[in-house]
Amino acid sequence: MTRDVLILCAAGMLVSAYLMVGQKALFTAIRLYAVQSLLLGTVAITMAIADRRDELFVMAALTITLKSALIPWFLMRVIDRIGIHREIEPFLNVPASLLVCLGLTAVGYRVSTGFPEGTQGVTHHLVGVALSMLLIGLFLMVTRKKAVTQILALLTVENAVFLVALGITSGMPLVVELGISFDVILAVLMLGILVHRIVDRFESMDVSRLSKLKG
Amino acid sequence: MGEALRAAVFAVLQAALLLAAAPLLHGVIKKMKAAFQTRQGPPLLQSYYDIAKLLRKEPIRSETTTWVYAAGPRVYFATAVAATTLVPVFVTAAPLEAVGGILLLVGTLALGRFALASAALDTGSPFGGMGSSREMTIAALAEPALMLGLFASALAAGSLNLGTLVRGLAEQGPSLHPSDLLGFASLFIILIAESGRVPVDNPATHLELTMIHEAMVLEYAGPDLALVEWASALKELLYLTLLADLFAPIGIATTLTPATALIAVTAWSMKVFLFAFGVTLVESTNAKLRLFRVPELVATSLGLGFLALAIRFL
Amino acid sequence: MLIALAIRLFTIVATVAVARRPAICRVVSMGGSILASAITGWLAVRVITSRAVIDGVLARHAASGIVFGYAVTPLSAWFLMVLALIAAPVAVYSIGYFAHAVPASRTATTGVGFNVLLGAVELVFVASDVVTFLFAWELMTLATAALVATDHEERSSRRAAYLYLVMSHVGTGCLVAGFLALASRAGSLSFSVLLTGDTVSGSLRHVLFVLFFVGFGVKAGLIPLHVWLPEAHPAAPSSVSALMSAVLITTGLYGLLRLCAFGLGVPSLDWGLAVMGVGALSAILGVLYALTENDVKRMLAYSTIEHAGIIVLGVGVAMMARASGRGDLAAVAMAASLYHVLNHAAFKGLLFLGAGGMAMGTGTRRIEEFGGLLRRLPWTGFFFLVGALAISGLPPLNGFASEWLLFQALLRGFASIPGLVRLNFPIGGALLALTSALAAACFVRAFGISFLALPRSRAAAEAPESPALMLVPQGYLAALCVGLGLFPGIVLQSLDRVLASLPGVQSPVALAPSSLAMASPRDVTDGVVPLGLAVAIGGGIIVGLLLAARRVSRRVPTWGCGGELTARTEYTATAFSKPLMMMFRAVYRPTREVEAMAEVSPYFPTEVRFRGRIEPTFERYIYTPLALAVLRVAVGLKVLQAGSLHAYLAYVLVLGVLLLIWLGGSI
């Protein structure tokens, strides 16, 4: 039973990542992220119940409040303020992107075969999904131009890392998790500020216009 | 304590003797040079008269000078006197041989030279600077050759301590090993350089382009000059004695009796006279070298010293 | 040890706290430094006298069980003692010096930098594992760079700090590579395991030797890795320069000793030869370049290179002795080197402090603008004279003692090591003699031109003497020079314990406090009693004074050949070293340009311009091409920096995927 729930949630997370790749509407992308985080919280709770680890409850609560509720709300407010609702043409069109994502998933699963099995026997799947999500998140960052999408991709990567931790070691030490969560909050807050500046400067959220970072 | 006292008395005696004999060396050399030039030359004891006269005179110092200027001749003199206590002259022991050997001797004389060279710069006259600069240059070039030559002899006896060295050599007796001849030639050239004689320097000139040692002491007068002159003579005597000790250790007294003492004194005087004659010969038959040719001469000495070392041990 | 470090930390915090009040800030930072130095010095003396090793733990990594600790071995204790002996007077000097030379706003940073530097150096000497060592090494480098750049408005200071950083990091890179190779072979990070000498063998040993030699050679200022020294030492404030010359160089030497000489097993004869060669080369080139420098601090920097070379020459002899199995010879050579480390710290510190006083009084560092300073700065001049005598290796001061020991080592090396290779020893001896004679010439020049005769500039004519706070440390160091020279036996007795702790070195029997001699079971070396010489010279002075009884002297103007004698007719520093420059033309490759400007007719020039230059051989032929090559490669790689955020992210992604594919399969 635990096993099924875990695999289901992991699959759901991967699907949400794929959908994010195929999305053009920013609102939907944010909602997909919220769903992803919710599923992540569920995974944490399930593992907490199954392994009887209380700190995972705390982590689940943190994940659900912060990442499913608070951050998506904040991001939506940012978009509202700016008034940009759609992603512009990415570097790679959607079918091609999806193909690349399939390849990345294959890589992720291949790597996950090397990890030792955990308590529930789902490590292989969890790690595979997590690594795939990580690579997909990175890929999103490479191919998308809007700043908000970039931060969403970063948040996806962070979710993936958390999932890997859950899968291999049943969660990271509390201190580390707290640290990472605060990092994430800070990153999002900063994005909020920066996006306004970018839009002021370029009248668009197009990050590819930032080209001064060279020697 | 008794040892130290005996050593001290010995040191004082030896220093006094050499001090007394030093100006005579200059007189002898001048007389011999004059003979080469078919002149009469100054009287043998002229140097003594000069020194006495200078000692009586009023010291005159330049306005620009500081205590360094007054200290220069005194340190120069003191180091020369101290150096005499390190060298075995009449007996196969130096009075203060426990204090140091060859290296200390060279270092002490270098200390005197440093003092005099610094003092020369004190007058503010370009002559002083020039003399100081050239003297330090030639001294710097002569050091390695001096070291090699002395090392060659020291290694043969196995010690840098002059007393041990001379004792060992006296036991062996004189030898005509090619290494010894080469070493002698090397050190003879260095003697010329350090005493400021032709072909390195002309002690009788006061032309600015040709003087080295004289330029350093140009401004000294009265007692200061007396000290410098005396010390220079003493240094030269020391070098000659060193040559005699290292390469002709005949007649040195191993034990002190009136008979051996007499023999030792006579032998020493003859050796010094002989070497002085050699110096005069070199002076009279050579022209003074340009300053920038002196390194070549010193390099020859260095090569000879190195050969001496190599031949003896390889 | 931990107490000392804690005191330093506390001092740093306190310094920052009182940053607003420069006077208190200075006293706080330097006072704390002196206290910490005193504690480390006492600790060092305890280790040396008791022959026990004091060690402890700094930090422990629970998960892997790696311990970061310190261990005060006798060798470390020697260096610590040298550091403590020099750091204390320099700190006292700094209290006075920083008041004048460092703007009030920077007093706190300089004080903090000072303490960080000293703390890092102490840690370098006592580190007992790789991580602590490298951490302290890097901290030391950064602190020094910060201090060098104190006057960061000056372009030369910035350049000096930058050059120093780059070269130090090249050296540190070599060190890291070497340490990693060694550690991976031995499987541990602790020095007690790594440096026993039998962890590596074969060609890896030679590679490691080269790596460590280069890495430590940069810090020690050996040629050809020395180019940062003449830039960095003048740029830093004088007390910091004193510390750098006296102490920073010794960290490089310490590393050389621990790693190259004693840490990689019995050294091979080639290593010893190479080390001797580099040492001799550094010595002779250092002093040659020092002779032609007109900036007093640059001259002292080159002189430091010379003495580092002399010390390394001794180390080379020791290595060759060890390679031939002659422990007693190694003892003499090591004694010479370690003694010289102490001596060099004393007289170089003294000279730099004096130079600082001179620069502060006149506002310039150029010797050509000094002159007659002995009248204005009598004490600075006197102490500088003592330092000059010491550094020229003249008896009975300390420079002579350590050079005598080195000559002894060379002599014995020739006598005891068989084969053609032993010809290197007399050559080394000749070069050493040449070096010390040239050093004497250099310092006659420095002392004479700066302090004697007429002042060559207005600034020199009006220079004030340094305050007492700056003079007392110089006096202390001068007394140290004299004391170390007159009582070498005490030093040798302390060294005895240090030598006993070094592998392959046979500790000799030490003798009386005032005698300089080393006896071993095989033979007795000669002895020197500098005190005796001092007595003899004293006797000579008495005789001289008796003969030339003191009468009042008449003061007259110097004869100026019928013309007026002014500062312009004096001999200049450039002129003083001209004969040597001409004789060593091959080394200097001097060029000169003379330009006569004339308005009306070329026969009546209104102005003549002269420009003489010495060729900067190492900069021009080694470093500039190297730097240009590196820059060319960098420009070529610039293509990768497209400026686009997405490109950079794409690099990350591609690399990540590749790594995962490559590693993922093999887990």
Question: Does A6 touch chain C if contact means CB atoms closer than 8 Å?
Answer: no
What is the pLDDT, as a whole number, of residue C521? 43
Which residues in C lie closer than 8 A to residue B313 (C-beta atoms)? 414, 422
Question: Is A in contact with C (3 or more beta carbon pairs below 8 Å)?
Answer: yes
Look up residue B91 and give its DSSP letter.
Answer: B
Compute the nearest-CA separation of C579 from chain B (Å). 7
Compute the nearest-CA separation of C639 from chain A (Å). 9
Question: Does A143 touch chain C if contact means CB atoms closer than 8 Å?
Answer: yes
What is the pLDDT, as a whole number, of residue A48? 83
Question: Per-residue pLDDT averaged across C461-489, rounded?
Answer: 86
Of all residues in chain A, the percent with pLDDT exceeding 90 is 6
Q: Is the pLDDT of residue C394 over 70?
A: yes
Q: Is the pLDDT of residue C516 over 70?
A: no
Helix (H) or strand (E) segment spanning residue C592: strand C591-597
Q: Which of residues 84-143 of B touch C (CB under 8 A)?
A: 85, 96, 98-101, 103-104, 107-108, 110-111, 113-114, 117-118, 120-126, 128-130, 132-134, 136-137, 139-143
What is the pLDDT, as a whole number, of residue B218? 85
Q: Does residue C651 form part of some domain?
A: yes
Question: Does C626 touch chain A if contact means CB atoms closer than 8 Å?
Answer: no
In the numeric block, the tokens 């030869």 are attached to C273
Both tokens of A212, joined, read 């001064």
Q: Is the pLDDT of residue C525 over 60?
A: no
| Nearest by CB: C643 against A110, A131, A214 | A214
* Of the listed ranges A107-121, C34-48, C124-138, the one predicted with least confidence: A107-121
Q: Does residue C56 form part of some domain?
A: no
Q: How far is CA B105 from CA B39, B101, B167, B198, in A?
A: 37, 6, 18, 24
**Helix, strand or coil for residue C71?**
strand
Q: Does residue C398 form part of some domain?
A: no
Give the whole-angstrom CA distance, residue C323 versus residue C315: 12
Closest residue in B to C376 (Cα–Cα): B66
Give the whole-angstrom CA distance, residue B185 versus residue B97: 26
Helix (H) or strand (E) segment spanning residue A209: none
Q: What DSSP string describes B149-169?
A: HHHHHHHHHT-S-HHHHHHHH
Q: Which of C36, C45, C31, C32 is nearest to C81 (CA)?
A: C45
Helix (H) or strand (E) segment spanning residue C56: strand C54-60
Q: Give exposure, B244-277, as e/b (b: 16+ Cβ within 10 Å).
A: bbbbbbebbbeeeeeebeebbbebbeebbeebbe
Bond before C616 cis per omega within 30 degrees: no
Are the beta carbons of A207 and C665 separated by less than 8 Å?
Answer: no
Contact between residue C257 and residue C290 where contact means Cβ atoms under 8 Å apart: no
Q: Is the pLDDT of residue C510 over 70?
A: no
pLDDT in tens, B147-170: 888 888 887 777 777 777 888 777
What is the pLDDT, as a whole number, of residue B237? 92
Are the beta carbons of A107 and C646 separated by less than 8 Å?
Answer: no
What is the pLDDT, as a whole number, of residue C304? 94
Q: How far is CA C624 from CA A141, C169, C627, in A?
A: 42, 17, 5
Are the beta carbons of A138 and C652 separated by less than 8 Å?
Answer: yes
Compute the nearest-CA separation of B192 from chain C (Å). 18
Residues 6+ apart with CB under 8 A from C605: C596, C597, C598
Give the whole-angstrom CA distance, residue C104 versus residue C284: 41
Are the beta carbons of C392 and B224 separated by less than 8 Å?
Answer: no
Q: Does residue C640 form part of some domain?
A: yes
Question: Does B210 touch chain C if contact means CB atoms closer than 8 Å?
Answer: no
Are the beta carbons of C448 and B82 separated by less than 8 Å?
Answer: no
Compute the nearest-CA separation of B205 from chain C (Å). 17
The residue segments making up the domain with residue C629 are 623-664
Which residues in C lie closer than 8 A to residue B66 (C-beta atoms)? 374-375, 452
Confidence of residue C14 (pLDDT cuts 50, 70, 90): confident
In this complex, the chains that touch B, judged by 3 or more CB pairs closer than 8 A, are C
What is the pLDDT, as a whole number, of residue C527? 66
Residues pairing with B61 in the sheet: C555
Amino acid at C635: V
Q: Which of B206, B229, B195 is nearest to B51 (CA)?
A: B229
| Nearest by CB: C400 against B107, B126, B219 | B107
Helix (H) or strand (E) segment spanning residue C607: strand C607-613
What is the number of other CB atoms lying within 10 angstroms of the CB of residue C579? 22
Which residues in B lie closer than 8 A to residue C548 (C-beta atoms)? 55, 59, 73-74, 222-224, 226-227
Contact between residue C353 and residue C477 where contact means Cβ atoms under 8 Å apart: yes
Are the beta carbons of C665 and A110 separated by less than 8 Å?
Answer: yes
What is the pLDDT, as a whole number, of residue A37? 92
Contact between residue C207 and residue C180 where contact means Cβ atoms under 8 Å apart: no
What is the number of other CB atoms lying within 10 angstroms of the CB of residue C230? 26
Helix (H) or strand (E) segment spanning residue C381: helix C378-391
| Nearest by CB: C528 against B65, B100, B114 | B100
Compute the nearest-CA separation of B144 from chain C (Å). 4
Q: Is the pLDDT of residue A115 over 90?
A: no
In this complex, the chains that touch C, judged by 3 or more CB pairs closer than 8 A, are A, B
Contact between residue C372 and residue C448 where contact means Cβ atoms under 8 Å apart: no
Compute the nearest-CA separation of B214 from chain C (Å). 15
What is the pLDDT, as a whole number, of residue C567? 79
Give the whole-angstrom CA distance, residue C567 versus residue B121: 12
What is the number of other CB atoms lying within 10 angstroms of the CB of residue A200? 8
Question: Nearest 5°: phi and psi at C147?
Answer: -70, -35
What is the pLDDT, as a whole number, of residue C65? 63
Domain count, chain B: 1
Helix (H) or strand (E) segment spanning residue C610: strand C607-613
Q: Does residue C657 form part of some domain?
A: yes
Question: Per-residue pLDDT averaged across C346-355, rounded?
Answer: 93
Give the whole-angstrom CA distance, residue C290 versus residue C584: 13
| Nearest by CB: B117 against C407, C444, C547 | C444
Both tokens of B198, joined, read 């032709």
Both tokens of B264, joined, read 């030792």
Both tokens of B173, joined, read 């007796």
Which residues in A lie closer than 8 A to residue C663 (C-beta atoms)? 111
Q: What is the residue-averaged pLDDT of chain B?
A: 85
Which value does ipTM take for this structure?
0.93
What is the pLDDT, as a whole number, of residue C523? 47
Closest residue in A to C662 (Cα–Cα): A111
What is the pLDDT, as a whole number, of residue A56? 80
Taking the CA of residue B174 as centre, how many other CA atoms within 13 Å lie in the half-sphere pointing to its CB?
12
Picking from A92, A97, A104, A111 by the largest number of C CB atoms within 10 A of its own CB, the best residue to mutate is A111
Locate all alpha helices (DSSP H) within C195-326, ordered by sequence. 203-220, 229-235, 238-243, 249-255, 269-291, 296-323
Contact between residue C530 and residue C401 where contact means Cβ atoms under 8 Å apart: yes
Residues pairing with C59 in the sheet: C68
User: Three-class SS string for C474-534?
Assistant: HHHHHHHHHHHHHCHHHHHHHHHHHHHCCCCCCCCECCCCCCECCECCCCECCCECHHHHH
Burial of C76 (0-12, 13-18, 19+ CB in 10 A): buried
What is the pLDDT, as a whole number, of residue C287? 93
The radius of gyration of chain B's CA atoms, rounded to the nearest angstrom, is 19
Taking the CA of residue C106 as centre, how many other CA atoms within 13 Å lie in the half-sphere pointing to its CB?
18
Bond before B203 cis per omega within 30 degrees: no
What is the pLDDT, as a whole number, of residue C522? 43
In the numeric block, the tokens 């003594």 are attached to B48
Q: Which of C251, C250, C172, C257 is nearest to C211 (CA)?
A: C172
In the numeric block, the tokens 């100081």 are attached to B132
Contact between residue B248 and residue B181 where contact means Cβ atoms under 8 Å apart: no
| Nearest by CB: C548 against B11, B129, B223 | B223
Both tokens of C557, joined, read 């103007």
Are the beta carbons of C643 and A211 separated by less than 8 Å?
Answer: yes
Q: Is the pLDDT of residue C514 over 60?
A: no
Burial of C617 (0-12, 13-18, 19+ CB in 10 A): middle
User: How many B/C residue pairs have CB atoms within 8 Å?
Assistant: 271
Q: Is the pLDDT of residue B89 over 80?
A: yes
Q: Which of B43, B42, B51 is nearest to B22 (CA)?
A: B51
- Pairing status of strand C591-597 against strand C554-556: unpaired
CA angle in degrees (0–180, nearest 5) for C430-C431-C432: 90
- Pairing status of strand C591-597 against strand C54-60: unpaired
User: How many A/C residue pairs have CB atoms within 8 Å?
Assistant: 62
Amino acid at C32: G
Q: Which of C505, C402, C500 is nearest to C75 (CA)?
A: C500
Cα Dmax for chain B: 59
Q: Is the pLDDT of residue C385 over 90?
A: yes
Which residues in C lie closer than 8 A to residue A143 (C-beta atoms)? 646
Which residues in C lie closer than 8 A to residue B117 (C-beta atoms)? 444, 448
Q: Does residue C627 form part of some domain?
A: yes
Give the whole-angstrom CA distance, residue C32 versus residue B268: 65
Q: Supply the angle between the helices C74-101 and C468-486 in degrees, to the nearest 10.
A: 150
Question: Does A169 touch chain C if contact means CB atoms closer than 8 Å?
Answer: no
Domain count, chain C: 1
Are the beta carbons of A135 and C653 separated by less than 8 Å?
Answer: yes
The residue segments making up the domain with residue B52 are 2-313
Compute the nearest-CA separation of B78 from chain C (Å). 4
| Nearest by CB: C526 against B82, B161, B302 | B161
Give the whole-angstrom CA distance, residue A165 versus residue C290: 63
| Nearest by CB: A210 against C638, C645, C657 | C645
Locate all alpha helices (DSSP H) within chain B, ordered by sequence. 2-36, 46-56, 67-84, 102-120, 126-157, 162-172, 178-195, 213-216, 223-247, 258-285, 294-313
Compute the nearest-CA separation of C66 from chain A (Å). 22
Give the whole-angstrom CA distance, residue B66 versus residue B122: 7
Question: Does C643 touch chain A if contact means CB atoms closer than 8 Å?
Answer: yes
Q: What DSSP string describes B122-150?
A: GG--HHHHHHHHHHHHHHHHHHHHHHHHH
Q: Which of C486, C477, C481 is nearest to C516 (CA)?
A: C486
Q: Is the pLDDT of residue C517 over 50?
A: yes
C325 vs A33 pLDDT, higher one: A33
Q: Does residue C635 form part of some domain?
A: yes
pLDDT in tens, C140-188: 999 999 888 887 777 888 888 988 999 999 999 999 998 888 888 877 7
The alpha carbon dihedral of B266, B268, B273, B278 has a sign of: positive
Assign 3-state DSSP to chain A and report helix, strand, coil percentages, each to 5.
Answer: 80, 0, 20
Which residues in A lie closer than 8 A to residue C646 (C-beta atoms)? 91, 141-143, 145, 207-208
Which residues in B lie closer than 8 A to residue C411 (C-beta atoms)? 151, 154-155, 160
Confidence of residue B119 (pLDDT cuts 50, 70, 90): very high
Q: Does residue C650 form part of some domain?
A: yes
Q: Is the pLDDT of residue C651 over 50?
A: yes
| Nearest by CB: C661 against A107, A113, A141 | A107
Amino acid at C564: E
Give the whole-angstrom CA distance, residue B194 versus residue B184: 15
What is the pLDDT, as a whole number, of residue A207? 67
Question: Per-residue pLDDT averaged across C255-280, rounded?
Answer: 84
Question: Does A116 touch chain C if contact means CB atoms closer than 8 Å?
Answer: no
> How many residues in total does chain C contain?
667
